[in-house]
Amino acid sequence: MRILSGIQPSGSMHLGNYLGALRQWVEGQSSDAFYCVVDLHALTLQIEPEKLREQTTDLLATLIAAGLDPEVCTIFIQSQVPYHAQLNWLLECVTTYGELSRMTAFKEKSQRQEGFRVGLLTYPVLQAADILLYQTEFVPVGDDQRQHLEMARTIAERFNNRFGETFRVPVGTQPKVAARVMDLQEPTRKMSKSISSPLGNLHMFDAPEDIRKKISKAVTDTDGEVRFDWEKKPGLSNLLEIYSSLSGETPEQVAGRYTRYGELKTDLSELVVTTFAPMKQRYEELLLDPGNLYKIAANGAEKASDVAGVVYRRAANAMGLSG
């Protein structure tokens, strides 16, 4: 079962990244699973080179600390496998401006970036290249990636119809709960690495006192009834989904055990602190030896290149390129 997924080095990992994506990655890891730090995607943000390097190192440590085992799966850095950028160009030439400009993420992000650059429009094509290069069957991602995944499927189908069967058409997988973890202060907006929200983003390796503070200050509502109801109680429902995802109960079961928001928040804080404490310790140890992290990534890039090179050449030949 070929799996591929990626994460941008655009900041520290938050609970959305972990519950929506990374935990599925750890569960699905095998010799057929490829996980990458998609640093080329992070260039769509205005990011300082030193910061990008630092965040790439941080993410490698986070992935391994959370349970990805480089002896079992392939962990690599996207830019170390040049086929991603190469296939991107081929796929840009089968994708229309109209379909990219209609993407929701593009519409939202282009509003936020003054003088936005072309990469912001075209990065879903690079994402399609990331996925299609590995003949991926399943792409474990959070709910926010549905539209991009659909784009990758459309591009694969179009390419196959026009140039002959080349790519496998991938399927996205989302967890049953916490597929879209919301910002604790603005529960109608998803938690996001690249949007600064000091009290709204709950990071995996926040200090315990920060975890407690953020959860105790999380926005809820005033009617006081502990009930799972996204429409009327988005803030509380977000907390219940995080709780349920960590404890293995349903959100309704969790809600049924509480009559006060305060008690729920206290217990959730402890659950978050105890879940991430061992990973945090491992993460801090791994960061002491960045050379080792880059050795792991270089080995991963070699394995990834073996697979991606074959697929890239097949696609290039199908289009009539001689290289």
For 138, residues 6+ apart whose C-beta sits below 8 A from its C-beta are 1, 2, 3, 28, 170, 171, 172, 173
Name the helix (H) or strand (E) containing 6: strand 3-7
- Note whether 24 and 63 are within 8 A (CB): no
Determine, following the binding rule CB under 6 A, whether residue 148 of this chain makes contact with ligand AQP: no
Q: Could you confirm whether 233 is annotated as catalytic?
A: no
Six-digit token string for 229:
């109801």
62 binds ligand AQP (CB under 6 A): no
Interacting residues with ligand AQP between 198 and 217 (CB under 6 A): none
Of 56, 57, 74, 145, which one interacts with ligand AQP (CB under 6 A)?
145
193 included as an active-site residue = yes
CB-facing half-sphere around the CA of 120: CA atoms within 13 A: 16
Locate 105 and state its tokens: 């993420």
By C-alpha distance, which of 232, 262, 233, 228 is closest to 245?
A: 228
Cβ neighbours of residue 120 under 8 Å, at least 6 residues apart? Answer: 44, 106, 109, 110, 113
Q: Is 3 left (phi over 0), alpha (psi -120 to 50) or beta?
A: beta
Catalytic pick from 51, 109, 213, 303?
109
Which residues in 68-107 contact ligand AQP (CB under 6 A)?
Answer: 105
280 is a catalytic site residue: no
16 interacts with ligand AQP by CB under 6 A:
yes
Q: Does 251 bind ligand AQP (CB under 6 A)?
A: no
Residue 170 in the binding site for ligand AQP (CB under 6 A): no
- Answer for which of 87, 91, 129, 191 binds ligand AQP (CB under 6 A) is 191
Part in contact with ligand AQP (CB under 6 A); list of ranges 2-10, 46-54, 79-87, 202-210: 2-10
Least distance from C-beta 180 to ligand AQP, angstroms?
5
**Choice between 112 and 257, CB closer to ligand AQP:** 112
Q: What is the signed CA dihedral for 204, 200, 236, 278, rounded to 10 degrees?
A: 10
Catalytic hit among 51, 107, 176, 193: 193
144 binds ligand AQP (CB under 6 A): yes
Interface with ligand AQP, residue 274, by CB under 6 A: no
187 binds ligand AQP (CB under 6 A): no
The single residue among 3, 8, 63, 265 that binds ligand AQP, judged by CB under 6 A, is: 8
What the block records as the tokens of 289 is 């030896």
The verdict on 300 binding ligand AQP (CB under 6 A) reads: no
Q: Which is nearer to ligand AQP, 26 or 316 (CB)?
A: 26
Angstrom distance (rounded) from CA 12 to CA 3: 23
DSSP state of 145: G
Among 23, 35, 73, 142, binds ligand AQP (CB under 6 A): 142
Instruction: Please report whether residue 141 would count as binding ligand AQP according to CB under 6 A.
Output: yes
Which amino acid would we find at residue 187? Answer: P
Alpha carbon of residue 312 to chain centroid: 24
Per-residue tokens: 169: 């058409």
Rule CB under 6 A: is residue 127 a binding residue for ligand AQP? no
- Which residue's CB is nearer to ligand AQP, number 146 or number 168? 146
Q: Enumerate the active-site residues.
A: 109, 190, 193
Residues that bind ligand AQP (CB under 6 A): 7-8, 10, 16-17, 20-21, 105, 141-142, 144-145, 179-181, 190-194
